[in-house]
Amino acid sequence: MKITKAVIPAAGLGTRVLPATKVMPKEMLPIVDKPAIQFIVEEAANSGITDILIITNRGKGFIEDHFDKAPVLEGILERDKKEELLSSIKDLDKLANIHYVRQIETKGLGHAISKARMFAGNEPFAVLYGDDVVVGGEKPATQELIEAYGTYGKGVIGIKPVTRQEIVNYSCVKVDPIRDNIYKCTDMIEKPQRDEDIFSLYSILGRCVLPPEIFDILDTTPPGAKNEIQLTDAMCVLAKNHGMTAVEYTGTRYDIGNKLGIMKAATEIGINHPEIGKDFVAYLKEFVKTL
Ligand code: UTP
């Protein structure tokens, strides 16, 4: 079955980036000149996704307006023959059909995903976490996961290695190699605290493809780490009962939900930016001499 639907949860409180996220959703924070969520919607569209559900809870207007037409601004840019600027905003509404639903209470990522039941219907769907931007790689990360779903017929998680210090704040997965960057996943845990729960240093980072069975599992998933309904806890049931596939996607992932991640994204994407990249590299080379 062709996977054409994706869900982007963007209803978190973004407390790690306060005060910037007091009013502005973290997903709208710019990486140089593009909001993080635009990178994510573009990745989905480049992976064959035609319909996207964005889960919001506040600041909804910012995200909706960004993917809408801006007739006054477009008119001015057209009049002034600022074609490049015009093309950077003009077709954002054509990337995909974008739908919105509110997660009224912030009860965790798993709770947010459960709001997509009607949207997904009986089809498998991709999930792109709203604060994880993935760039580069052989193919868009979501496409790599969708291809693995097509080959193995099971739910897929996108994984990357992290450090022993980091894994206690992330999820941890038990994996057995299948081939190259593809693994069988049979167990996982969110925010592992005991040594025996560290199955590997692989963590689920920002992407998955899920079968519709996940919704019934989510309905009976109790609050877990941070007293939130964790998607990892529901996927753990899926992995144990049906098996899952893990793909170490080839792109580079930036966590724009924390301050250091935002700086890394701005720096690494900034040095390749067609307009300012060269000047930025020159500036950085001089600046590091002063450190
Ligand atoms: P995070 O746990 O990183 O988001 O969730 P957060 O709650 O905003 O983080 P803090 O406050 O800085 O610790 C990962 C993704 O899931 C979404 C977030 O928006 C982010 O894209 N999310 C999280 C929801 O949509 N709803 C929730 O209840 C929690």
- Residue bearing tokens 């040095």: 271
* Centroid of ligand 1 to alpha carbon of 96 (angstroms): 23
pLDDT band at 64 (very low <50, low <70, confident <90, very high): very high
Atom of ligand 1 nearest to the CA of 11: 25
Q: What pLDDT is attached to residue 93?
A: 84
d(CA 156, CA 183): 10
Cα-based torsion angle of the residue sequence 73, 79, 83, 88 in order, rounded to the nearest 10 degrees: 10
d(CA 226, CA 3): 32
Q: What pLDDT is attached to residue 19?
A: 96
Q: What is the rounded average pLDDT of the residues 89-94?
A: 87
pLDDT band at 208 (very low <50, low <70, confident <90, very high): very high
Q: Mind listing the pLDDT tens digit for each residue in 174-193? A: 999 999 999 999 999 999 98
Atom of ligand 1 nearest to the CA of 16: 12
Nearest CA to ligand 1 atom 3: 257
- Residue bearing tokens 């793909």: 247
Which residue, 279, 278, 280, is CA-closest to 266?
Answer: 280
**1 has pLDDT over 90:** no
Q: What pLDDT is attached to residue 13?
A: 92
**58 has pLDDT over 90:** no
Q: Mind listing the pLDDT tens digit for each residue in 5-39? A: 999 999 999 999 999 999 999 999 999 999 999 99
Stated as kind and residue range, the H or E segment containing 7 is: strand 5-9
Which residues approach ligand 1 with their CB closer than 6 A?
9-16, 55, 103, 106-109, 111-112, 129-131, 257
| Residues 235/146, Cβ–Cβ less than 8 Å | no
**234 has pLDDT over 80:** yes
Nearest CA to ligand 1 atom 27: 108
* Centroid of ligand 1 to alpha carbon of 7 (angstroms): 14
Instruction: Please choose from 131, 227, 231 the residue to mutate so as to test ligand 1's pocket, defined by most ligand atoms within 8 A of CB.
Output: 131
* Centroid of ligand 1 to alpha carbon of 30 (angstroms): 18
Instruction: Please choose from 26, 40, 109, 228 the residue to mutate so as to test ligand 1's pocket, defined by most ligand atoms within 8 A of CB.
Output: 109
The chain-wide mean pLDDT, for the chain, equals 95
CATH code assigned at 179: 3.90.550.10
Residue 157 to residues 36, 97, 257, Cα–Cα distance (Å): 21, 24, 20
pLDDT band at 41 (very low <50, low <70, confident <90, very high): very high
Containing domain of residue 30, as a range?
Answer: 5-288
d(CA 128, CA 132): 7
d(CA 27, CA 275): 23
Q: Mind listing the pLDDT tens digit for each residue in 102-134? A: 999 999 999 999 999 999 999 999 999 999 999
* Centroid of ligand 1 to alpha carbon of 107 (angstroms): 9
pLDDT band at 61 (very low <50, low <70, confident <90, very high): confident
What are all long-range contacts of 142-145, with beta carbons under 8 Å and residues at least 24 apart?
A: 142/6, 142/43, 142/44, 142/47, 142/49, 142/207, 142/209, 143/46, 143/47, 143/48, 144/247, 144/249, 144/250, 145/207, 145/208, 145/209, 145/247, 145/249
Number of domains in the chain: 1
Atom of ligand 1 nearest to the CA of 17: 12
Atom of ligand 1 nearest to the CA of 129: 21
Q: Mind listing the pLDDT tens digit for each residue in 149-173? A: 999 999 999 999 999 999 999 999 9
Instruction: Count CB-CB contacts under 10 A for residue 21.
Output: 20
